[in-house]
Chain A
Amino acid sequence: MSNPTKMRAAVVDGITELKVMMQHEMENGRRKDEAGNLVPAWYITDVKVQHANRTILEAQFGTSVSKNPYLVFHFRGGKVGDKITLSWTDNRGESRSDDVAIS
């Protein structure tokens, strides 16, 4: 089971800043465990952020994105109370979706 994405969204002068921390190991497939075995690659490949039925950011990740991927970006058109939804999918096909309200 994956853990919920931490998100904070605040609007100032019509521009909403969204700060995101997804919770994911982001194994790059080159790390070895204590026994010396390679830990298989396991990482988020696709991210989609939506507001009011509109995509406000799409991202594709490789294995060079740090553990617990962190993102900050800005968009126009958000109002206090609006819902923002972030969904991700990883290379094992697992996915999850979380919401935050703009404050």
Chain B
Amino acid sequence: MHKSEVDLERRKALKAGGGIGLLGLLVAAGLIRPGIASAASNRAAFEAKTMDEALNALGVVISENSLAIQLGAPEVAENGAVVPITVESTLSRTEQICILVNKNPTILAANFLVPEGTEGFITTRIRMAETSSVIALVKANGKFYRASREVKVTAGGC
């Protein structure tokens, strides 16, 4: 192969890479997940039917269990249509709180973006189809942390 041909191949590769853009390359390289790239429009995460899909769509690469997250949920929920959930994070700069239900038809229940000045605290009410673990996923300082809890559901509400 002549030097000029090698150059041409190289140029093609560069051109292809340029087309994808830096963001695409970072995604391809696994440095960031697509979810991070489009945090504002992550409706796809709400369609997720499995925990892996949901975490992927949210851009969660890894999440550590954290004792700084308190997840309040009833041990037994008699009415799955209204299950009170409280998430409290004492992690500094808590910027996002997600509530996920492992065995619901769609995993992600709610996603909260917490600006500075607002505390890492949310109370809400969710539906649960059956007994399942509930997961609070908290993003603080760019990293994800989690806490989970099993909630027994006597009458499903989905």
Q: What residues of A have a CB within 8 angstroms of the CB of B119 in the complex?
A: 15, 73-76
Count residues of chain A with CB under 8 A from any CB of chain B: 27
A17 to chain B, nearest CB (A): 9
Partner of B125, one of A15, A28, A65, A77: A65
Q: Mark B147-158, 1 if CB is under 8 A from A, else 0.
A: 000000000011
A86 to chain B, nearest CB (A): 13
- Which of A32-40, A56-64, A94-102 sits within the interface? A56-64
Q: What residues of B have a CB within 8 angstroms of the CB of A80 in the complex?
A: none
A71 and B115 contact, Cβ closer than 8 Å, known pairs A28-B127, A30-B105, A62-B108 = no
A91 to chain B, nearest CB (A): 10
B84 to chain A, nearest CB (A): 8
A73 and B106 contact, Cβ closer than 8 Å, known pairs A28-B158, A56-B117, A57-B115 = no
A9 to chain B, nearest CB (A): 13
- B118/A69 in contact, CB under 8 A: no
- A74/B112 in contact, CB under 8 A: no
| B residues at A contact (CB < 8 Å) | 42-43, 46, 81-83, 101, 104-106, 108-115, 117-119, 121-128, 157-158
| A residues at B contact (CB < 8 Å) | 15, 28, 30, 45, 54-67, 69-77
28 contacts between A and B (CB under 8 A): A30-B158, A45-B46, A54-B115, A56-B115, A56-B117, A56-B118, A57-B112, A57-B113, A59-B113, A60-B43, A61-B109, A62-B106, A62-B108, A63-B46, A63-B105, A63-B106, A64-B128, A66-B125, A66-B126, A66-B157, A71-B123, A72-B123, A72-B124, A73-B119, A73-B122, A73-B123, A74-B121, A76-B117
